[in-house]
Chain A
């Protein structure tokens, strides 16, 4: 009887542990970040995110900007007029720039 109770208790304990483990290993929901384009800068200039997270770029300047991947030009927002925003789902680390104002640069790093 004692053995039966011990076995049942052990099973419950393992089941509980498995449940906790399955909860803790559930995929995290992607996070949302904002990068403002203001005073001819990307703010923040350097952002660290996870793969799948979303960055919304918002143009707060009076002149148009864009957000363009710098190395291979693999992605670009296209021309963003004042107050226009653009979302990027991050798939890899990147350096980017404004192809209109080439002195404006930013960086996306992965955790």
Chain B
């Protein structure tokens, strides 16, 4: 059985300059682009949670997916309220487009699985995804954000991402028992 790699965290990290310095050096992210990346990254997790809610029978996985959907919707709600107030229009960019494209692929891969294999694939992906997002938000998006309120919002989201990661790792351990 060939193990599939989830490329979203790698692409997210690499496009923001962790593996493709040329991309990062040649294009400084603007606040509208950062807002778009933030909303897209949250939407990706909501979409993946929706798949888990349809396909998983595991109560812990279902509870986690519900939490992901609700929490990331709350973050998007705050982000939309803020960009509306700031009159900033989120601007689609290479990172947000790639995130969306790869999320589509990840979801298609997840839908091919069922039972314990699905649970493991979904939770493994959540662990990897949250690790990558935390790294990028802390290391790239926050330092690159010019507007102080947008920077504050991103900083407020980090503890939630870390709690999600801890929660996902806890389930990951329980699935391997």
Contact = CB atoms under 8 A, between A and B. Distances in A.
Nearest to A102: B167
B160 A40 contact: yes
A62 interface: yes
A82 B166 CA distance: 22
Interface in B128-177: 156, 159-160, 162-163, 166-167, 170
Interface majority SS (helix, strand, loop, mixed), chain B: helix
Interface string A47-82: 000000000000001111000000000000000001
B163 A62 contact: no
Interface residues of A, number: 13
Interface in A3-53: 39-41
B170 A62 contact: no
Given A102-B167, A103-B167, A103-B170, A39 B71 contact: no
Nearest to B78: A62
A2 to B, nearest CB: 78
Interface string B59-95: 0000000010011001101100000000000000000
Interface of B: 67, 70-71, 74-75, 77-78, 156, 159-160, 162-163, 166-167, 170
